[in-house]
Structure 1
Amino acid sequence: MITGIIMASGFSKRMNKDKLTLNLGGELVIEKVIKAAKESKLDEIILVYQKEHIKDIAIKYGIKTVFNSCPEKGQSESMKLGIKSSNLNTEAFMFIVGDQPLLNSRTIDMMIDAFNNDNSEILVPMYNNEKGSPTIFSSKLKDKLLEVEGDKGGRKIIEKAPHMVKYISIEDYRVGLDMDTWDEYQQLIEMEMEIEK
């Protein structure tokens, strides 16, 4: 069993507006991420939110939601809340960012298949030789994940235990792009139009 944790409780500081509810190809950014997760092999999906309208979107898609009352603590807080709310039988956690709208179920499934066929404790996707999301951590690392602080998520664990990590090359780098600025959002709009052609 693999649990997907969608981290959707950030502040969108660099965008100066709620980037998760921007429109991309006729759908909201967060909806595209949720749909990719729903269409994948994930056994359980949990969305961590701080704004009610994000929760409402998640409920519409029938996924579990968890309120983040301390989003200022960074990405690690969303990770911990998702882990604590997950099924006790889960074998691994997949951490998905809410602002990666070109993510698709094929990529999620590729990561899940790699985890199921390998003994690695941590799987990290590579887009154009750059580390990205979503990452998978074995539930054996649950205690270590619950100790992480700040906005770096599981990166500290990856840095300290390189022998546990397997890197998965993803052919289409566009899948790994997230958006922090208006210019990045505009670029993603253009890329999605190219993908749909």
Structure 2
Amino acid sequence: MEINGIILVAGLSSRMGDFKPLLKLDGKTMIEHSVDSMLYSGVNQVIIVLGYRGEEVEVLLRSKYNKSQLVFTHNLKYSKTDMLASAKIGINALNTCDAFYLLPGDMPAVDTKTFLKVKETMVKSNAMVVFPTIDGHRKHPPLVSHRCIDYILQFEGEGGLREVWQFFKNKIETVPVDDYGCMIDADTKADYEKLVNYMDSKRNYKV
């Protein structure tokens, strides 16, 4: 399968009180960890959807990665739109692929094994969308088939991505994972502290 990734980094970070993508975790910025998690899982290219302070993020990432690995696009209405709007912008920037992962930029700790399990499930099931689950609850990142693209781009209803997934509910598969990284984002300073501690514990475990 040809798989690409979309990382949504357009938000204002208003609840954090600091700019989330550039916060440091284990020696790298949060956005670098998010990009790395996708590249380590074997995606061909990562689309970065930028918004607030997008130029800073783009400059940083261009200095760290091969230009063929990343594509940058911007949600110019980031302060007035939701995640679905950013997802559409990312989808419009995709190169041809069989499927794509969709990941919020403040979830930098998803394990490579999770990405691979989700991919394996799509290959086996031919599902339209596959979600990792923990205790039966859907988590990020979903893997979305290219067959969903037209519907997502044309969707104009209420409810955002949750409502989009409802349309495909009979064609969604899930796969249980043991990955705390799927459960922690960085909405608040307390969340960030949890992430710092978790990343530290992962590093120490590997050592």
Paired letter, 1:79: A
Q: CA deviation at 1:153?
A: 4.7
Unpaired stretches in structure 1, ≥5 consecutive residues = none
Q: 1:54 aligns with which of 40, 53, 57?
A: 57
Amino acid of the structure 1 residue aligned with 2:35: I
Q: What aligned pairs does 1:41-120 form with structure 2 within 5 A after superposition?
A: 41-50=42-51, 51-59=54-62, 60-62=64-66, 63-71=70-78, 72-87=80-95, 89-120=96-127
1:94 Cα offset (Å): 1.3
> Quick check: 1:66–1:81 contact (8 Å CA) kept in 2?
yes
* Partner SS state of residue 180, structure 1: coil
Normalising to structure 1: TM-score of the pair?
Answer: 0.91
Contact 2:114 2:179 in 1 (8 A): no
Residue 151 to residue 82, structure 1, CA distance change in 2 (3 Å): farther
* Structure 2 residue 123 is matched with structure 1 residue 123: no
One-letter amino acid of the counterpart of residue 157, structure 1:
V
Contact preservation (8 Å) 2:5, 2:100: yes
* Residues 92 and 151 (structure 1), Cα distance of their counterparts in 2 relative to 1, 3 Å cut: farther
> What letter is aligned with 2:117?
M
Give me the whole-angstrom Cα distance separating, in 1, the residues matched to 2:27 and 2:47: 24
Partner of 1:8: 9
RMSD of aligned residue pairs (Cα, Å): 1.9
**Unmatched tracts of structure 2, length 5 or more:** none
Aligned-residue offset at 1:174: 3.2
CA contact (8 A) 1:77 1:149 kept: no
Task: Give aligned-pair identity as a percent.
Answer: 25
CA distance in 1, matches of 2:134, 2:107: 13
Q: Of 189, 198, 203, which residue of structure 2 is paired with 1:182?
A: 189
Alpha-carbon shift at residue 149 of structure 1 (Å): 5.2
Instruction: Compute the displacement of 1:48 (Å).
Output: 0.8
CA separation of 1:150/1:7 partners in 2, compared to 1, >3 Å: closer, same or farther?
farther
In 2: Cα distance, 1:19 partner to 1:148 partner: 29
CA shift for structure 1 position 150: 8.6
- Say if 2:6 and 2:87, in contact at 8 Å, map to a contact too: yes
